[in-house]
Chains A and B, each alone.
Chain A
Amino acid sequence: MSWAEIIRTGLEAVRSHRLRSGLTMLGILIGVAAVILTVGLGEGAQDKVRGQINALGSNLLIVAPGSTTTNGVRGGFGSASTLTRADADALRSTIVAPDIRAVAPTTSRSAALAAGSASWTASVVGTTPDWLSVRARDIGTGRFISGQDVADHAAVTVLAATTAEELFGARDPVGQPVTVSGVPMTVIGTLTAAGSSANTNEDDQAIVPITTAADRITGGVSRNSVQDIYLEATSGHTLSAAYQEADYELLARHRITTPTAADFSITSQQSILSTATSVDRTLTVLLAGVAGISLLVGGIGVMNIMLVSVTERIREIGLRKALGASPRVIRRQFLVEASVLGLAGGLLGTALGLAGAAILPHLISDPISISPTATVGSIVIAVAIGVAFGVYPATRAARLAPIEALRSE
């Protein structure tokens, strides 16, 4: 009996027991759909995090102030700002740090803004012209703060999209007066929307020259300290060189001889990315594992039904043997039936998974990105499960003695 013939016979058997075949497939179907959706959700979450971190800017290094040591007691990270504008200026030198293209020291504090009768509280960021390219932002209208503004301690501000909207509504804010923490300033430009990340709202900011912020908003003894220094390497390849240059220069400037005692830390965008995505990946693997177990349970369902089927069709098997079916042919017939159930369940499960991936993001706010590997993989596994769990029932069927089979009522 040819394979084509055996497959036709197997399909006929599956079709002639529609309800049972359907229920058997259901197990595999749910398993496959679950694998596709959970892996999709995990990948979607990873993509989202990756997108957020990439939005920080490319080839980015972030220097954050570390702990200070006061009277031999080491404070925690961020307990004091050990970075100053002078540190940033030093890193701007192409002799000291040839692989650093742009340096943007930032200070940030929340402050009240008012324009006419409208008032709004936003994060006021003091920085330098490099900020725009380092943070990969774009100017919507007007212009960004210039080197001259920084040198002049100019009373100018650039508003992010939400802030501009809240203060000026539909009006063009460029050229309008606004008070920032009671300091009158002129709006010189707006930023385009960037979307919000998990921690900060990138669209609710007012950017001012760092010198202006130091003098008129922060003030006090910490006026010259900065919260972060954003560094942009000249390219992705020079990122680690830029890291070393910054590290070396800052250690030298802070007169620290042992690198482990550094009062600052430098993180790369890559390290943030891998930390964030590895958490998501662990979760994905866990969920996919659970889904995989349901696939396995589906496979056991296939075996169960195939065994019932062998017992129920004992006369048919006997008859087929009497008519000349060799044990091999009988075994193949039952194997084909089991793998047809696996394949059909796998394909239907994929359809359900894809439909779910299309509908679910509208119901929950999380994105789902379909992984072709997981999709093809789960179909293959579904068929493999059908075959693997079909072997035992098929062998049982093949071993039946024709007389025993024919005799049974």
Chain B
Amino acid sequence: MTPTDSPSAESTPVASRPVASEPVEPGADRPGTSEPGASAAVIELTDVRKIYRSGLFEVAALRGVSLSIQEGEYVAITGPSGSGKSTLMHILGCLDVPTSGLYRLAGEDVGGMSEDQLAEVRNRRIGFVFQQFNLLPSMTAWRNVELPLCYAGGPRSERRQRAVDALADVGLADRVEHRPAELSGGQQQRVAVARALVTNPSLILADEPTGNLDSASTEDVLGLFRRLHDVGRTIVLITHEAEVAAAADRVLQVRDGVVTADSGPAARTARSARKVRA
């Protein structure tokens, strides 16, 4: 996958926008041309607010978040419960839309999209990993991994091959025909990671991926994320655990609906510069 063919990606240079929170390298608005060294902003949030209404009460879950995540970054978003990090995750994952503000995912303005378009963006751009794994119990591992490909379309034989390849990528080549109930928690989460990878998305969005795992499996999954990062994947990890957040290169602290601390893209190491895109 190489995004993007959307004209909106070209229309507004990110750097010209006044509230860009990060200095952006030239060519950042062209995520499709990911030459080594030249980064593209996968995520661009500009003054994003989210207000929930229930009856007479209004709850501001996000109160003006601006941030930018470049291609190939490994970012942890952390904060206590009620801080708004889940809301942020939902907006980043296109599961919810901001009340105000601008969100560009791989150059595309997500704000004005219909539900159908959002579904397509989620399918193409985002690979989700959930705390509860969310595998379908009646399906074998490869069928679970194949699921997002079913929604994208394409010949069955090719889909199966890609699903099997993705399982091999996460080290489960010998568990292709197993059902979730026959796998350990760590293995189930690895199947979920394979499912997130299989569409070759712009962004892997992991919501408390280790929340239901023991420490050995946590190590296992975090190791897997590290390997994916090494091959150039963009990973955003939402967690409330400091040690899990520490596994990422860059940590964003969210509190009371705003980003209170950002270790900054400077944390990008030589490792991420070596990235090789598939």
A residues apposed to B, CB below 8 Å:
1-2, 5, 9, 12, 16, 315-316, 318-329, 401-403, 406
Contacts and interface: CB of A to CB of B under 8 A. Distances in A.
Contact of A324 (B96, B136, B139, B148): B148
A310 to B, nearest CB: 16
Given A327-B119, A406-B134, A322 B93 contact: yes
Given A1-B151, A5-B150, A403-B95, A323 B123 contact: yes
Contacts of A320: 147, 151
A322 B116 contact: no
Residue from B115, B120, B139, B199 with most neighbouring chain A CB atoms (10 Å) = B115
A329 B151 CA distance: 9
Nearest to A2: B153
B96 to A, nearest CB: 6
Contacts of B147: 320, 323
A329 B119 CA distance: 10
B160 to A, nearest CB: 13
B267 to A, nearest CB: 29
B151 A16 contact: no
The 8 closest A-B pairs by CB, nearest first: A324-B123, A16-B138, A324-B151, A326-B119, A323-B148, A326-B116, A319-B134, A402-B95
A2 B156 CA distance: 12
7 contacts: A1-B150, A323-B123, A323-B148, A325-B119, A326-B119, A329-B119, A402-B95
B183 interface: no
B134 to A, nearest CB: 5
Contacts of B275: none
Nearest to A313: B136
Nearest to B143: A12
B147 to A, nearest CB: 5
Contacts of A1: 150-151, 153
Residue from B119, B128, B132 with most neighbouring chain A CB atoms (10 Å) = B119
B95 A327 contact: no
Given A322-B95, A323-B147, A406-B130, 15 more contacts: A1-B150, A1-B151, A316-B136, A319-B134, A320-B147, A320-B151, A323-B128, A323-B195, A324-B124, A324-B199, A325-B119, A327-B115, A327-B116, A328-B116, A401-B96
B33 to A, nearest CB: 25
A403 B90 contact: yes
Contact of A323 (B90, B96, B122): B122
Contacts of B59: none
B151 A325 contact: yes
B95 A406 contact: yes
Contacts of B119: 321, 324-327, 329
Contacts of A327: 115-116, 119
A326 B122 CA distance: 10
B152 interface: yes
Nearest to A329: B151
A340 to B, nearest CB: 16
A61 B139 CA distance: 73
Contacts of B195: 323
A403 B123 contact: no
A320 B151 CA distance: 9
A398 to B, nearest CB: 9
A312 B56 CA distance: 31
Given A402-B95, A403-B95, A406-B134, A323 B116 contact: no
Interface string B103-130: 0000000000001100110111000101
A327 B115 CA distance: 7
Contact of B151 (A12, A323, A401, A406): A323
Contacts of A328: 116
B128 A322 contact: yes
Nearest to A5: B150
A406 B115 CA distance: 16
A9 B150 CA distance: 10
A315 B132 CA distance: 10
A403 B122 CA distance: 13
A196 B153 CA distance: 69
Contacts of A319: 130, 134, 136
Given A316-B136, A403-B95, A324 B116 contact: no
A67 to B, nearest CB: 79
Contacts of A401: 95-96
A322 B136 CA distance: 13
A12 B153 CA distance: 18
Contacts of A12: 138-139
A321 B123 CA distance: 9
A151 B28 CA distance: 122
A325 B149 CA distance: 10
A315 B153 contact: no
A326 B90 contact: no
Residue from A325, A328, A401 with most neighbouring chain B CB atoms (10 Å) = A325
Contacts of A326: 115-116, 119-120, 151
